[in-house]
Structure 1
């Protein structure tokens, strides 16, 4: 994954990282004790959210209804970028990047590559992932998941720009039952993946900078390989070797060769990488060698996947395709998962980078994505014998769908996530719905926030929730937030001014906040808050009677919710937000 311009704190030592994790846990503990001992008033005053309804209505899905034997692409809508996939028997497992979202690295399971169920997260404990002070687009990048048949173990390896971690690996015998504590790996660079040869040997391959003094141009990177000691869970010192310098053709100054994966077929080793950087020049390329240590020779038909050379005004545009991984499907044919984007009518990326899939033709020497170099279609043919159950029987939905949650289930849906810290630190269930105990932290701070998030998964959508809340002062606010980052977001919440209650709509751009509108309202009963989007146009509204909605602030631009304006690697998050450090004051 190409790195944009962010300022990261340098990696701290393992000891410092563990100390930070302990401090975070201590802070949460102190917070809980303080709440229980000193804040009966705050507990009584905590906002309660209920009747959460997200509804997607993208025209492309209305215009292309599914026929028998078809399914929609992307398979994971919303910000699920940098997918990696592995197989054990008839079971497929897929992971994606999460950056500073907590818990980190969602794990999905499928039997057929069409119907997916989220079974958890690989990094679900603060001891594994310390992102408490991390910008939203730092944290964990580009995970890889691999099954090693030689020891019947799954490995998830990832780069963590947080908590002094660096490159880490966690292990599991069963991904549905959790993952080990992390093993810190002794190498730099990013985007690591693992390869297990049939002779029992193991390797790590990753993106890195060229040797010191050898960088030729901006974006010049290399791919490096190491032998890996399975007994010690560590790369073997001195075995590192550069196997690709720059990319397919160094003379053309290729940028950001990254996200490498090694595969073995017919006794030969294939290295597949992204090239061109995450963005409009993104692509996938492939090399071959007689050894996992190289030398690797590029295929003559690169790239094997890209949307970069197509008509920019094509309908139902999918773009930025790349960062791929291959797997043998249930029909004994190859498939590739990869990231792509579906921009809105202003060509802005608000949803984020999503997980797509295409069949792969590997009948010749090199694999190539079927229809991966022509405009991608919104539908695909399913592997033979598969029945489309998406959105049913617990399988992840795609296309246009409605996700309702009254928060009465004993287990919170995995689609609800936190930012920089555990959800359990601020949520609790009540007879009325989900209670959020507010932190003295607002959405613009680099700290854990008391906000429960759901990804925006469509360009055209509505989200509605019921809020039962009476703020005690202007420092108290609860409502919804649409967040691209701590510096780019909207807040639509209920606060207080004197004896009166107000809804405020605040826009934050480049860290500078502005009140777009405020509205005095009656809160004798719970109110409904709603946001609707039609491409770039977002509208925020409320209802006091459950049926008639009143708009606040007119139609506002979603520009600040796009990667194009805000930068970074995430998509828009829709949050149920509460704070006791409010600075969005009514006009």
Structure 2
């Protein structure tokens, strides 16, 4: 690392924060070290189930979103290290009222493990919505609009592959079985014309196929041991020979390779990383006897913590986070916890503010129109500026976290019309969500209020504080836990959340002036 560059980078961040510069200038985590090298993870946030392709000199990275809407996020990069959000594929989830938070919710369901390919000027994306048949979305522009064909069956974790001659296939396997099946598609990628079992790997899922020098390479995640295998064959239908690659101890699982413009290859893989979720690591790859080896010849079979960038010369970049809500559309960093009720929010009723009107719910977990974005590590602080003038009695509006634990710093009103602050913590358990509410409501003067959530993913703890002038800050409540689990919560890392709900119908609303993300806990 160039420590002189690092000193000035950190100093510039601090100056930007104290000068009030929008936090897009403040890097919470910067993988690119500015000296031709990078460090893992490339994004210190929850970007699970990665699939990455190259189109010309551009790289595209698709990731899981579950019940969050809009669904299926695609990122863009020129160098595999500096990423920005390019688009979302699915505007709303369908098939069940649960995606509208009716008849129960659909957390941990929705959309996951998509695969992305490009052929003949068209982007194709395969995804299997939970409980539905596989869809092949397609668009000539990565920003959409996207249309789709629905197949006649559900392929778990569909691995889309398009051969040199345009023949299209889906590799699919479910770890409880481990049998890898290859589906053959027609030329329009709208119908399955054949299905054949081609291989067996105990515990396999998350299939990805690439081709190099006449060999087909099949990558599979092995969740029971958090590992990654690679199989190779001269023919897509086999026979295949298989080797173990890496695992979470040496870099991660569920991933594959992407080729570089110079003919080289780089590997991508996700790694379970505690409360932050599942992060993506990047690795150089070299070849030995026709097999890919992660790492370098000096340190093989291991994803490096620090390595040389695959492509140099491109500027620093990261996904958007901070927002002053000055645009008529939400930034791509934001998603709703389920399909939103569009009558209960607005960016145009008061230009420059996001207006949230209360939805009817008994608690945050069942409240529609909770607006979320990814928590970022290793330590980050989200600050929101609010106008509480029109929050009414019974409204519970505010800021916090959303996940297995959902911590809430809530604005309401007492019997005398005084604005008050209180804290609550909801834990989603297998028996259902349980909420503990701080019985002490703290009165706050005026209508302008700043709320702050500081998240430390090294200790998996967060803290709340507030201010009535944006300068002097007061802690409130006790430290709250951060956690990730796949059986409970959202199956995602902890997220920042803006919310507004009421047990009854309400004519009140909360106006949100800004959200600012800064480094540090």
Range of TM-score over shorter length: 0.7 to 0.9
Q: RMSD between aligned alpha carbons? A: 3.0
> Which residue, 333, 337, 345 being the options, matches 1:415?
333
With over 3 angstroms needed to count, the CA separation of the structure-2 counterparts of 1:482 and 1:526, relative to structure 1, is same
Helix, strand or coil at the partner of 1:356:
strand
The CA distance in 1 between the partners of 2:330 and 2:54, in whole Å, is 27
The CA distance in 2 between the partners of 1:472 and 1:423, in whole Å, is 19
Kindly state the Cα deviation for residue 445 of structure 1 after the two structures are TM-superposed: 4.5
Q: Which residue of 1 aligns with 2:324?
A: 406
Helix, strand or coil at the partner of 1:350:
helix
Q: Which residue of 1 aligns with 2:446?
A: 524
With over 3 angstroms needed to count, the CA separation of the structure-2 counterparts of 1:442 and 1:85, relative to structure 1, is farther
> Which residue, 88, 91, 106 being the options, matches 1:135?
106
Helix, strand or coil at the partner of 2:107:
coil
The CA distance in 2 between the partners of 1:422 and 1:325, in whole Å, is 34
User: Per chain length, whose mean CA-contact separation is higher, i.e. which structure has more relative contact order (CA < 8 Å, sep 6+)?
Assistant: 1
With over 3 angstroms needed to count, the CA separation of the structure-2 counterparts of 1:518 and 1:106, relative to structure 1, is same
The CA distance in 2 between the partners of 1:526 and 1:147, in whole Å, is 49
Q: Which residue of 2 aligns with 1:86?
A: 53
Q: Which residue of 2 aligns with 1:557?
A: 481
The CA distance in 2 between the partners of 1:565 and 1:57, in whole Å, is 32
> Which stretch shifts more, 369-378 or 570-579?
369-378
Kindly state the Cα deviation for residue 337 of structure 1 after the two structures are TM-superposed: 1.7
Q: Which residue of 2 aligns with 1:214?
A: none
Q: Which residue of 1 aligns with 2:115?
A: 144
> Which stretch shifts more, 434-443 or 546-555?
434-443
- Contact 1:84–1:324 (Cα < 8 Å) also in 2: yes
Kindly state the Cα deviation for residue 153 of structure 1 after the two structures are TM-superposed: 1.7
Kindly state the Cα deviation for residue 327 of structure 1 after the two structures are TM-superposed: 1.2
List alignment gaps of at least 5 residues for structure 2.
Answer: 1-19, 506-521
Kindly state the Cα deviation for residue 142 of structure 1 after the two structures are TM-superposed: 0.2
> Which residue, 370, 387, 403 being the options, matches 1:468?
387
Q: Which residue of 1 aligns with 2:308?
A: 381
The CA distance in 2 between the partners of 1:165 and 1:156, in whole Å, is 16
Kindly state the Cα deviation for residue 471 of structure 1 after the two structures are TM-superposed: 5.7
Q: Which residue of 1 aligns with 2:514?
A: none
Q: Which residue of 2 aligns with 1:340?
A: 271
The CA distance in 2 between the partners of 1:325 and 1:296, in whole Å, is 17
Q: Which residue of 1 aligns with 2:463?
A: 539
- TM norm structure 2: 0.82
The CA distance in 2 between the partners of 1:581 and 1:171, in whole Å, is 42
Q: Which residue of 2 aligns with 1:478?
A: 397
The CA distance in 2 between the partners of 1:241 and 1:65, in whole Å, is 43
CA distances 1:213-254 after superposition (whole Å, capped 9, x unpaired): xxxxxx342211011112361111xx2122222x1xxxxxx4
Kindly state the Cα deviation for residue 54 of structure 1 after the two structures are TM-superposed: 8.9
Kindly state the Cα deviation for residue 455 of structure 1 after the two structures are TM-superposed: 0.6
CA distances 1:382-403 after superposition (whole Å, capped 9, x unpaired): 125x224223xxx537xxxxx4
Q: Which residue of 2 aligns with 1:203?
A: 169
Asked if residue 327 in structure 1 is aligned to residue 263 in structure 2, the reply is no
- Contact 2:381–2:453 (Cα < 8 Å) also in 1: yes
> Which residue, 220, 234, 242 being the options, matches 2:197?
242
- Contact 2:295–2:302 (Cα < 8 Å) also in 1: no
The CA distance in 2 between the partners of 1:416 and 1:551, in whole Å, is 27
Q: Which residue of 2 aligns with 1:39?
A: none
The CA distance in 2 between the partners of 1:87 and 1:479, in whole Å, is 41
Kindly state the Cα deviation for residue 427 of structure 1 after the two structures are TM-superposed: 3.1
Q: Which residue of 1 aligns with 2:284?
A: 359
After the TM superposition, which residues 485-496 of structure 1 pair with which residues of structure 2 at under 5 Å, given as runs?
Answer: 485=404, 488-496=405-413
Helix, strand or coil at the partner of 2:275:
coil
After the TM superposition, which residues 389-468 of structure 1 pair with which residues of structure 2 at under 5 Å, given as runs?
Answer: 389-391=315-317, 395-396=318-319, 403-422=321-340, 425=343, 426-429=345-348, 430-431=350-351, 433-441=353-361, 444-446=364-366, 449-468=368-387
With over 3 angstroms needed to count, the CA separation of the structure-2 counterparts of 1:565 and 1:83, relative to structure 1, is closer
Kindly state the Cα deviation for residue 183 of structure 1 after the two structures are TM-superposed: 1.9
The CA distance in 2 between the partners of 1:51 and 1:542, in whole Å, is 20
Asked if residue 226 in structure 1 is aligned to residue 183 in structure 2, the reply is yes
Kindly state the Cα deviation for residue 492 of structure 1 after the two structures are TM-superposed: 1.1
- TM norm structure 1: 0.73
- Contact 1:305–1:373 (Cα < 8 Å) also in 2: no
With over 3 angstroms needed to count, the CA separation of the structure-2 counterparts of 1:83 and 1:65, relative to structure 1, is closer
Q: Which residue of 2 aligns with 1:307?
A: 248
Kindly state the Cα deviation for residue 497 of structure 1 after the two structures are TM-superposed: 2.5
Helix, strand or coil at the partner of 2:438:
strand
Kindly state the Cα deviation for residue 140 of structure 1 after the two structures are TM-superposed: 0.5
Kindly state the Cα deviation for residue 550 of structure 1 after the two structures are TM-superposed: 1.5
The CA distance in 2 between the partners of 1:373 and 1:570, in whole Å, is 31
Q: Which residue of 1 aligns with 2:223?
A: 276
- Contact 2:136–2:189 (Cα < 8 Å) also in 1: no
Q: Which residue of 2 aligns with 1:9?
A: none
Kindly state the Cα deviation for residue 339 of structure 1 after the two structures are TM-superposed: 1.0
Kindly state the Cα deviation for residue 545 of structure 1 after the two structures are TM-superposed: 2.3
Helix, strand or coil at the partner of 2:137:
strand
The CA distance in 2 between the partners of 1:472 and 1:525, in whole Å, is 9
> Which stretch shifts more, 152-161 or 137-146?
152-161
The CA distance in 1 between the partners of 2:500 and 2:183, in whole Å, is 47
With over 3 angstroms needed to count, the CA separation of the structure-2 counterparts of 1:132 and 1:565, relative to structure 1, is closer
- Contact 2:449–2:466 (Cα < 8 Å) also in 1: yes
- Contact 2:48–2:64 (Cα < 8 Å) also in 1: yes
After the TM superposition, which residues 88-103 of structure 1 pair with which residues of structure 2 at under 5 Å, given as runs?
Answer: 88-103=55-70
> Which stretch shifts more, 517-526 or 115-124?
517-526
Helix, strand or coil at the partner of 1:112:
coil
Kindly state the Cα deviation for residue 438 of structure 1 after the two structures are TM-superposed: 2.3
- Contact 2:399–2:497 (Cα < 8 Å) also in 1: yes
The CA distance in 1 between the partners of 2:209 and 2:240, in whole Å, is 11
Q: Which residue of 2 aligns with 1:30?
A: none
The CA distance in 2 between the partners of 1:375 and 1:444, in whole Å, is 42
